[in-house]
Amino acid sequence: MHTRNPSSRSIRAIAHKAMAFSALRANSSLSTRLARYNHHMHLARLAAAEQFTEEVRHV
């Protein structure tokens, strides 16, 4: 279901995805960039999962 006003969790997921992709272009070592990318993608997945369970609960 698409809404005009996204929830704070979906905004967090989008923000963490953006941070993950910007981590790949950072000026640091490959291992550091990959660790930051994985960290932010993990947080994005958690936020998306929380938002999905919240939507299912309210239906």
Provide, for the chain, the percentages of residues in helix, strand and coil under a 3-state DSSP scheme, each rounded to the nearest 5: 80, 0, 20
Give residue-wise pLDDT tens across range 2-48. Answer: 556 667 888 999 999 999 999 999 999 999 999 999 999 999 999 88
pLDDT band at 51 (very low <50, low <70, confident <90, very high): confident
Residues 6 or more apart whose Cβ sits within 8 Å of residue 1: 55
Burial class (CB in 10 A: 0-12, 13-18, 19+), 4: exposed
Q: What is residue 9's predicted lDDT score, i.e. its pLDDT? A: 81
Identify the residue with better confidence: 52 or 16: 16
pLDDT over 60 (residue 49): yes
pTM summary value: 0.75
